[in-house]
């Protein structure tokens, strides 16, 4: 199972939100490149990098951080936030990302997402299924849709999707455990390689996610709050 620490960016700084609420933003480190280097130094191989400015406001100043991290580490980076065009995707890959996370466009323009899935391959495109109360949310989690989360993932899985990051927004940043029941439902329905996100607070939570059959787990606030150490994560890689 992939162990994937997260770096969320606002104004070039490493931050965390609670339940996707931008007003709850807390800065943990002003040098995300150094944070990424610390991850790599403990044996971690993967990084989930999110541009929160782009996700909400279509401001793309943080992509230079992606380039810096990619050029100064060997981390395998998946990048998300505000990706709405092929030019966006190309620029992210050119900057050093190995995979891109697509959320809003997948929910608002199915044909375009499927075109990208075909053109760039299922190895490169990750579906971001950001869910609250069983429904998909978009635009940096700020906007509700009426799209059922399970149906959404199942439909794309049936059309060639391989990777999906599913975040239970109600759990995100709460440090109260992952939404394992939701992940089990998804895996029972599809054969997608599911990456769990939201609520992880301990090594026991990571083991629970592994036992559920997930292909990966994203860990954010638990690292920055000292609930899980990098040394502990390094042993799992």
Domain ranges of the chain: 2-236
Residue from 10, 69, 61, 13 nearest 40 by CA: 69
Domain 2-236, CATH? 3.20.20.70
Task: Name residue 148's beta-bridge partners.
Answer: 135
pLDDT at position 20 is: 75
- Judged against a pLDDT cut of 70, whether residue 59 lies above it is answered with no
pTM: 0.94
Residue 58 has pLDDT above 80, yes or no: no
Q: What residues are labeled active site? A: 8, 130
Q: Among 87, 72, 75, 22, which residue's Cα sits nearest to residue 49?
A: 75
List own/partner pairs for 84-89 with CB under 8 A and 24 or more apart: 84/58, 86/116, 86/119, 89/116, 89/120
User: Looking at the predicted structure, is the pLDDT value of residue 229 above 80?
Assistant: yes
| Structure confidence by residue, pLDDT tens digits, 8-22 | 999 999 998 887 788
Q: What share of the chain is helix, strand, coil (3-state, %, to 5)?
A: 40, 30, 30
| pLDDT digit string, tens, across residues 169-205 | 888 777 889 999 999 999 999 999 999 999 999 999 9
Which residue has 């499927």 as its token pair? 114
């Amino acid at each position: 199972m992939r162990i994937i620490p997260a770096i969320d960016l606002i104004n070039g700084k490493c931050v965390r939100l609670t339940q996707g609420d931008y007003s709850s933003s807390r800065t943990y480190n002003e040098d995300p490149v150094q944070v990424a280097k610390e991850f790599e130094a403990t044996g971690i191989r993967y990084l989930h990098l999110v541009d929160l400015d782009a996700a909400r406001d279509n401001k793309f100043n943080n992509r230079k951080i992606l380039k810096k991290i990619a050029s100064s580490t060997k981390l395998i980076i998946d990048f998300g936030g505000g990706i709405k065009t092929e030019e966006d995707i190309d620029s992210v890959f050119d900057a050093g990302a190995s995979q891109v996370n697509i959320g809003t466009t997948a929910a608002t323009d199915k044909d375009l997402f499927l075109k990208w899935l075909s053109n760039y391959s299922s190895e490169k495109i990750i579906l971001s299924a950001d869910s609250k109360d069983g429904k998909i949310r978009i635009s940096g989690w700020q906007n509700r849709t009426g799209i059922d989360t399970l149906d959404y993932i199942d439909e794309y899985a049936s059309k060639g999707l391989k990777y999906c990051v599913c975040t239970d927004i109600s759990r995100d940043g709460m440090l109260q455990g992952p939404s394992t029941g939701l992940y089990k439902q998804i895996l029972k329905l599809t054969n997608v390689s599911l990456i769990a996100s939201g609520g992880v607070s301990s090594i026991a939570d990571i083991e629970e996610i592994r036992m559920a059959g997930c292909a990966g787990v994203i860990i954010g606030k638990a690292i920055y709050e000292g609930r899980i150490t990098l040394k502990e994560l390094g042993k799992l890689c």
